[in-house]
Structure 1
Amino acid sequence: ARDFYKTLEKQEGLPAINTELNFVFEGCYTTHADIKKYNRVLENALPQAEMLSAAAALYGRNYPQDAFTDAWRKTCFNQFHDIFDGSAIHGSYAYSKKLFNIAYETAVLELDGSLKTMGSKIKFQEKTGTPVLVFNTLSWQRDDICEIKIPVGSAKEKFRIFEGKNEVPSQFTGIEEDENGKLFLKIVFIARDVPAAGYKTYYALQGSGPQIGGGESLRAGVTSSTIKAENKFYKITIDPLTGCISGIFDKENSYEILPTLESANMLQLLFEKPHDMSAWNIGKISRTEDLSLDCTVTLVEDGPARIRVRVCRVFGSSSFCQDIVLYDGMRRIDFPCRVDWQEQGTKLIDSPMLKVAFPFSLKESSARFEIPFGSITRPANGHEYPSQKWMDVSGITESGIAYGLSLLNDSKYGCDVKEGVMRLTLLRSSYDPDPRPDKGIQEFTYSLFPHKGRWDARTVRAGYELNNPLVCIPVERRTSNVVRQDLPEIHSFLSLEPQNLILTAFKKAEDSDDIIIRFYESEGRETSAEIKFGFQVKEAGETDLMEKEIRGIPLQDGKITLKTGKYEIKTLRLKM
C-alpha cells in the first residue's frame, strides 16, 4: 500500500473528487427499522450517561469507564454493515437486540445513579414538595417538554409544578402501575431556560386546586369539518375526514406554509415490484397510494402544556396511530407514531414501502441533508438519499421572504425531495435475506420545524433536541446531614458559543481522570469558539481524536477561546 501511494505522488493531473461517493443500496437506509432504532437510541443515551457520570464524578461518584467501554463496543458491533443496513439473516437480529439491551441498561443505570448523586448534593428549598431535577445534556440553554412520574399512594392524588414560588403550566396525562403494584402519576410541563449542559430544579406540590393556564395562546377547537390547534407560533388545521393537516399558518410571519389544496403529514404506500436483493435495493415503483380515507381523529389532550390530536387508520393487516402534538411556546411540531406493520413482501407480489409526505411552496428552493458532523446540499430530484437527524428545504416565499422547513426524525435514515414535496421513508417490507424484517409494532417520532430564513444551526439544534429529550426525575430528599449540599438549584457545567458549535462528548479521558470534551462546527463557516466552565479547570489542551495532546490552550477567567474551521471537529482535554 505504501508503494502504491508513493507511485501516485509522482503523477500529475490526477482527477480530484470533492463530493460524495454515494449512492448504492438505498433500501438499506430503511430496512430493519429495529436495528436503526437501537443504534440511534444508543448514540444518544450513551453520551448522555457519560456526561452525567463525568459531572457526578466531580462530586465523588465513581466513573464507570469499563462499563462504558463495553457498551460502546456492543453498539459498534451492531454497526457492522450487514447488521446495521438490515441485510443480515433474521436470526442475527436476536443477538443484536441482546447487545442493545445490555448497552442500554448500562446507560440507564449510570444516568440514574449520576442524577441521584448530584441530587444528594443540591441544597433544595425546605418544605416545598418533591424536587424535580431537569437535566439538559446539550450545550445551549433550551425550552422543552418535561415528562415525569410521581409516586403516589392513590390515583386520586393531584400535583402541581412550581419553579420557586411561581406555578408552571402542567397537565395530568395518566396513572401508571408498575409490576409491584406501585402507582405513579404522569405529569407533563414545559421546562424553560434549562441551562446548557446543566440542570434546573422544579417542585411538585400536592394539591387539588385549579391548574393555571398556558401563557402562550395554546388552544384547540373541534367542529364537524375541522380540528384546530394553536400556540404562540402556529395555527394548525386538521381535516377529520382524511386525518391529514390542511393548513399550517405561521403567525409570526403571516405565512401559510402549505400550498393551496395540499395536505401535509400524508402517509403514502409505494409499491415496489418484485426484485432481487430486496433488503438492499428499492424496486421499481408500480403505484403510490395515499392513506387518506377511513380514519378516526380524536382530540386526546387539550391542556396548558400541550395539545395532542390522534389519527388512527387501517390498511390491509396493518394499523397506524399518529399523534399531532403542539406545545406551549415551542416551535417544533411532533408526530409520534405507533404502527403495527403486518405487510409481507414476496417475490411474487408488489411490496409496500411506507413514507410520509410534507408539501411546500418555496421558490428557488434547495434541499439539504445532515451527514455525520456536517450537512450537504443535494439535488431535489426524487432520489432516495441518506440523512441523519434532519433534512431541510429552504427557499423564498411568494411574498419574497427567505423561509424553510426542516423535517426531523428520531430513528429514520431514508428520504427524498421532488416537485415541492419532502418525504421521509418510514418502513419497508423486503423479503430477502430476512423474509419478515419489520413485522410487528414500530414506534418512532418525526417532527416539523418551520423557520424564517434559510437553514442554519437552529435546524441542527432542533434535531439534537428531538433526539436528546430533557432528563427529568423526581428526587428523594436526603434525610442525613453527612453529605454536604454545595450545589445550587440551577447550574451549568459547560456552555459553548456561538450557536453553530455543537457539543458531542463530555466524558472522562480513556487514560486518566481528565475530562474530554468534543464539539464540531455545523454551518460550514470559520468561527471563534468560546467555552465557559461551571467547574474548576486547571489546564486545558487540544488533542486529536485518540486523545493525544497536540498543544496547550490558555485559560482565562474560567473560559477558553479558540479558532474553529468550517466543519472542524475539536477535542479538548481538561485537567482538574
Structure 2
Amino acid sequence: MFVREAELIREQIARRSAAGSGWPKFIKSWLFSRFSRVAVCATIVIKFSSNRRRNVAKIHLIGNAHLDPVWLWQWQEGFAEIKATFRSALDRMRDFPEFVFTCACAAYYKWVEENEPAMFAEIQARVAEGRWVIVGGWWIQPDCNLPSGESFARHSLYGQRYFVAKFGRIAKVGYNVDSFGHHGMMPQLLKKSGMDYYVFMRPQEHEKQLPANLFWWESADGSRVMTFRIPDAYTVRDTEQLTHHIQKHGEMAEAEGAPYMSFYGVGNHGGGPTVANLLAIRELTEKGCGDIALSSPDAYFAEVAALDPPLPVLRDELQMHAIGCYSTHSESKKYNRKAEHRLLSAEKWSSLAHLLLNLPYPKQQLLAAWENVMFNQFHDIMGGCSIKEAFEDARESYGEALHLGAKALNAAMQKISWNIGTMKPQVAALSKEKDSKLWEQDDLGVPFVVFNPLSWEVEALVQANKMLAGAEDDTGAPLPVQKVRASRIDYDDKWDTLFPARVPAFGYRVFWMYRDKAAAAKPSTGMLRAEPYALENTYIRLEFDESRGSLTRLYDKRPKKEMIAAEAAVPIVIDETDSDTWGHGLVRYRNEIGRFADASIQVIEEGPLRATLRITSRYGASVLRQDFSLRHDSPDIQVKATLDWRERHRMLKLSFPVQASEPQAVWEIPYGYIERKTDGQEVPGQQWVSVSDRLAEGGGIGIVNDAKYGYDVLDNDIRLTIVRSPIYADHYGERDDLVEYMDQGIQEFSYGIIPYAGDWRDSGIPRKANEWNVPPLALWETYHEGPLPQSAEGIRVSANNVIADVLKQAEDGNGWIVRCHEAAGRATKATIGLPLHDREWNADFGICEVKSFFIPEDRSVPVSEVDLLEYGAR
C-alpha cells in the first residue's frame, strides 16, 4: 500500500513538472515530505516484516533532550533552558498520551524543584505514571575520564539518593550520551551504584570498532553491564532525519539480531521532542509502519534481558574522542584535583573529630561543596571546551567548594589539636613574652601538630613557617632541621624551617619546635650534595646539561643502572594549529617544532635534608622554571615548576625517555589502572604513569603529578602534557584577530620522577602519587591539658596494595563509611581497623575492586559491606 502511494505522489510531481505547472511552495514541500515518509515507511514495513519472521524485536524510539547546562553559554542560560525544556516535555505528554520522555542529571531536577516547585510536582506525577523516565543516576553527565574514582562514586551517591528521596526510585540505566570517552572501571562503578545497563555514543564507529552496538562491558574486577552505543546521534530534529534513522536502525537490528534504540528530540541547548516529531511517529505507527514504539532505555533493556541474546563481551576502555580535552584549560583541571582531595581530607578529619570529641559533622556544608565539584565535572567544563565566561563561573564555583572544604578541615583539625595534652609542668599560664609569634616559654619548645590524611604512615619533609633552632618528636628524640627560604620578606624574617616528620596512618603527631635551643640531632644517614650541574644522594645521581637544562643522566645506584635512554625532563613545543579546542579527528600530538633551551642553573638549597637546583629555560616569549629537589632519604625526584606561557596554537610536553628495551606502559585511571600500547596516542590518565621493562630484570620510571591528565607514550618515551593554547570553544571556526587563547600567562604545577627496580606493582607508585597530591597538614599549638595523646593512628590497613580513600559519616547519619580500593592488580586479603573507634574487620579484594564498609555507631552491631549508595551490598 505504502509503495503504491509513494509511486502515485511521484507521478503527480512528474506530470505537473512536465506540464510546466508550478506548485505552491508549501504544497511542493509537503508532497516531497509525504513522498519521503511514505517511501521510507514502505521500506520499514518490508524490513520489519522480515525481522518478525526472524524473531527480531522492535525499534525503541527514545524521546529525549540532551541538555548542556554549560557550553557555548553560561550556567544561568542553561538553568533557564532546562526549565523551558521540562515545560515542553510536560506539554507534549498532555497532547500525546503515548509520548514517553527520558532525562538524566539530578542537578537539573534539583534546580527545577527549588525554582519551580509546581512544575516539579507535575514531573513527579509523570514519573510515578511511568511516562517520564529517569536515567543516568548521576549528578550530571560528567567527563568520564578525568574525575577521580571517588568523584564518580559521589555522582552516584548523591544523584541516586536524590532520585530516591524525590521520586521513590533509582535510575537503572547509566546514561552519558555526550561524554568524550569512558574509562575502563566504569562497569564496576555503575554496577555498585544500582545500574546494570549503560548508554553512550562516543567514541563512535570511526573512532573505535566494536563487535556490535549492543554488548557486555566488563571491568578488570569482573563487573559487567549491558551496554548500548547510540549509532548516529542523541538528537534528531527534523522528520526526514527521524524516518531515515528508523529505517537505518531497523536494518542494524536485523543485522545484529537484537532490538535497537533510536533517539529523537532537539538537544544540546535543550528542546526535546517536537510536535512534528511526534506527529510523524504517530503517522508511521497508525499506518502499521514497522514494529516501532515510543519507549525508554529502561523498557529497551528489559526487553533485551528477557530475550537474552548472545552478546559479545568487551574488556577494554571506550576511547578515544576529543583528545585535546585531557589538557585543555589547565586552571579548571588543577582546581578539580585540588578540590577532590580537599573534600576527602575534610571528611576524614571531620569524622575523626566527631568520633573523638563530638564535633558536629558538617554534612550539608560538605554536600554543597561536592555539588559544586560534580557540576564542574560536566563534560564541556571538565573537558575545557566551553566559552571563556563559563570558566570564570567555574573558578567561582571551585573557590566556594575549596573554601567550604577548608572551613570544615580547619574546624576539625583545630578541635583535635586543642584537645591534645601539651601542657608542661613549668608553665603556669600562657604568655608571649619570649616571642611575638610563638607561645614558647623559656626553652620548653612549642607544639606543632602534623596531620596525615592518608591511610598509611607517611615520612615527609614538613616546612614550619618560622626560623627555628631545633626540633624534637613527641618522644623527645631530636630531629635534624634545615633553613629554607620562605615566601615572605618581613625585614630580616625570610626563612622557614624544614624537618623530617613520620606521621601515623590517618593520624597526627606532635613535634616540639625550639626558637633558640638547638637539638642534638643525629647526623642524617647517607650522603646528599648539590653541584653546579648535578644532584646526588645515597640512592641516585642526576646530571643536567648546562645550556639546555635537560636531565642528561639519572643513575640509580641500587640496581646500578642508567634509568633514562636520552635527555629527560625536556620541555618540547608541539604545533597544534590544525587542532580545534577538542582535538577532533586527531589521535596524537607529536608535531614537534622546538624545545626550551637557553638555560640557567642555580643551586638554591643545600643542606642535610634537601638539595635543590633551579633550572630556568626559555622558548620564544615563554619561560619555564623547574626546581629539582632530592631528599636525603629517598631516590624520588621532586620538581616544582612555574610556567609563563605565551604561545598560541602550541602545546608543551615534558619528555622522559626510559631505559627499557621492551617497554610496558601503565596509567592510573579512576579507581584502577590500565596498560596501553606505546604507540604515541594522546590518552587520559590520573595521578601517575609508569613505563618499565618487561624483561626479567624489570625496573622503570614513574611520573606522578598534581594537576595534569594528558599523556602519551611512544615506545619508551613518556610525555606528560603540561599546557595547550587553543582558542576558546573553537570548533574549527573562522579564526580572526579577535579570538582569545587559553592558558596564557603564569601557572604552577609539580611532578615527581620515581625510579624503581622490579615490577611496577612493587614500586609504591600509587601511594607516592597520593602523597604527592595530599601532603601533611600542620597547625601551631600552645600549652594546654587535653584528653588526646600526642600521637595517634586513625586507621590500619594490612595490605600495601589496598588504599582507604574515604572515611565519612553515612548518609543516613547512624554510622560511618570507609571506602577502599585495590590499586596494584593483585587479589588480596586485608584486615582493616579503626583503632580510635575500636573496630576491626577482614575483607577480600579482587583485582581493582572497590569496597565500601558501613561502621554502625552502635559498636555491638558488626561492620557490613554496602554498595556505593550506602545500601546493602548487591
Say whether the fold is shared (TM-score over 0.5). Answer: yes
Aligned to 2:562: 256
The range that moved more, 209-218 or 23-32, is: 209-218
Q: 1:285 to 1:501 in 2, by over 3 A?
A: closer
Aligned to 2:499: 189
Given candidates 470, 473, 482, the residue that maps to 1:171 is 482
- Do the aligned residues in 1 keep the contact of 2:623 with 2:643 (CA within 8 Å)? yes
Q: Distance in 1 between matches of 2:781 and 2:468?
A: 18
Q: Distance in 2 between matches of 1:111 and 1:357?
A: 37
Q: Distance in 2 between matches of 1:444 and 1:280?
A: 27
Which structure: greater helix fraction?
Answer: 2
- 2:749 matches 1:440: no
Aligned residues: 530
Equivalent position amino acid for 2:534 in 1: K
Aligned to 1:64: 362
- 2:810 matches 1:509: yes
1:281-310 deviation line (CA, Å, top 9, x unaligned): 659868414535311110101112211111
Given candidates 32, 43, 59, the residue that maps to 2:340 is 43
Equivalent position amino acid for 1:248 in 2: L
1:382-410 deviation line (CA, Å, top 9, x unaligned): 0011000011112157xx52212111111
Structure 1 residue 209: Cα displacement: 5.0
Structure 1 residue 473: Cα displacement: 2.3
Aligned to 1:425: 721
Q: 1:178 to 1:575 in 2, by over 3 A?
A: farther
Give the 5 Å matches for 1:264-275. Answer: 264-275=568-579
Structure 1 residue 331: Cα displacement: 3.2
Structure 1 residue 333: Cα displacement: 1.1
Equivalent position amino acid for 2:496 in 1: K
Q: Distance in 1 between matches of 2:685 and 2:590?
A: 25
Aligned to 1:144: 460
Q: 1:359 to 1:175 in 2, by over 3 A?
A: closer
Equivalent position amino acid for 2:483 in 1: F
Aligned to 1:496: 797
Q: Distance in 2 between matches of 1:290 and 1:213?
A: 48
Q: Distance in 2 between matches of 1:360 and 1:366?
A: 10
Q: 1:18 to 1:124 in 2, by over 3 A?
A: same
Q: Distance in 2 between matches of 1:513 and 1:57?
A: 13
Given candidates 105, 110, 132, the residue that maps to 2:408 is 110
Given candidates 514, 530, 533, the residue that maps to 1:205 is 514
Structure 1 residue 210: Cα displacement: 9.0
Given candidates 693, 698, 709, the residue that maps to 1:402 is 698
Aligned to 2:324: 27
Q: 1:319 to 1:210 in 2, by over 3 A?
A: farther
Equivalent position amino acid for 1:437 in 2: M
Given candidates 526, 531, 555, the residue that maps to 2:832 is 531
Between the aligned residues of both structures, percent identity stands at 28
SS at match of 1:535: helix
- Do the aligned residues in 2 keep the contact of 1:278 with 1:431 (CA within 8 Å)? no
The range that moved more, 307-316 or 31-40, is: 307-316
Unaligned runs of 5+ in 1: 151-156, 345-350, 538-557
Structure 1 residue 17: Cα displacement: 1.4
The range that moved more, 7-16 or 98-107, is: 7-16
* Structure having the higher Rg: 2
CA RMSD in angstroms comes to: 2.4
- Do the aligned residues in 2 keep the contact of 1:236 with 1:247 (CA within 8 Å)? yes
Q: 1:254 to 1:16 in 2, by over 3 A?
A: same
SS at match of 1:39: helix
Given candidates 325, 331, 334, the residue that maps to 2:629 is 325
Unaligned runs of 5+ in 2: 1-296, 427-443, 731-739, 858-874
- 2:472 matches 1:162: yes
Q: Distance in 1 between matches of 2:664 and 2:637?
A: 22
Given candidates 593, 616, 622, the residue that maps to 1:312 is 616
- Do the aligned residues in 2 keep the contact of 1:131 with 1:477 (CA within 8 Å)? yes
Which structure: greater strand fraction?
Answer: 1
- 2:639 matches 1:335: yes
Aligned to 1:549: none
Q: Distance in 2 between matches of 1:121 and 1:184?
A: 32
Structure 1 residue 183: Cα displacement: 6.5
Equivalent position amino acid for 1:573 in 2: F
Q: Distance in 1 between matches of 2:596 and 2:650?
A: 16
Structure 1 residue 83: Cα displacement: 0.6
Structure 1 residue 266: Cα displacement: 0.6
Q: 1:210 to 1:6 in 2, by over 3 A?
A: closer
- 2:667 matches 1:369: yes
- Do the aligned residues in 2 keep the contact of 1:273 with 1:284 (CA within 8 Å)? no
Q: Distance in 1 between matches of 2:469 and 2:586?
A: 51
